[in-house]
Amino acid sequence: MESTEESLFDKSMAKYEAGADAYELIKDFEAITAAAPNQSAGWTCLAWLQLLCNENDSALRSARRAVKLNRQDPQARINLCLALLETKSKGVRDHIEFLQKALFAVPDLEKELRESIEDGLKRKPDWQTLKKIKNWLEF
């Protein structure tokens, strides 16, 4: 990403972490992904926000793009699992198995993913698909 996109990314992440509403941030991340379409982090964040806002079909497209750009990103994989479940699409098991192996191989990932899941449940307390993934990952 160029410095302008990095700056917008950092500012948008800071707004999110400060509790900004997901709807407010979608436009920022759409701009980030338009300006830097090969940067997986922007797509990962956009997919998460779209999921929080029940824009599941859009989230599925964004999450697929994020995983295609960075197959090793566990958050992108969680987002893709969520989007697949929310849209009643197939293919969740492969991504869950990848996440389970990644958590086994890199135990430090657990804290990061646990925090992400807890954040999602704070923002969307009745998010049943996220609760299902949390259970599958045994958090």
Domain of 26 in residue numbering reads as 3-133
Render pLDDT for 48-94 as a digit per residue (tens, 0 to 9): 999 999 999 999 999 999 999 999 999 999 999 999 999 999 999 99
What's the burial of 46, exposed, middle or buried (CB within 10 Å: 0-12/13-18/19+)? Answer: buried
Decide if 138 is inside a domain: no
What is the pTM assigned to this prediction?
0.92
12 lies in a domain?
A: yes
Residue 1 has pLDDT above 60, yes or no: no
Is the residue at 128 inside a domain? yes
pLDDT digits (tens, 9 = 90+) for 106-122: 888 999 999 999 999 99
Average pLDDT over residues 19-43: 95
Contacts of 24 (CB under 8 A, 6+ apart): 15
Per-residue pLDDT band for 2 (boundaries 50, 70, 90) equals: very low
What is the CATH classification number for the domain harbouring 12? 1.25.40.10
State yes or no: pLDDT of 29 exceeds 80: yes
Is-contact 83 63, C-beta < 8 A? yes
At 71, give phi and psi (nearest 5°): -65, -15
Count of domains in the chain?
A: 1
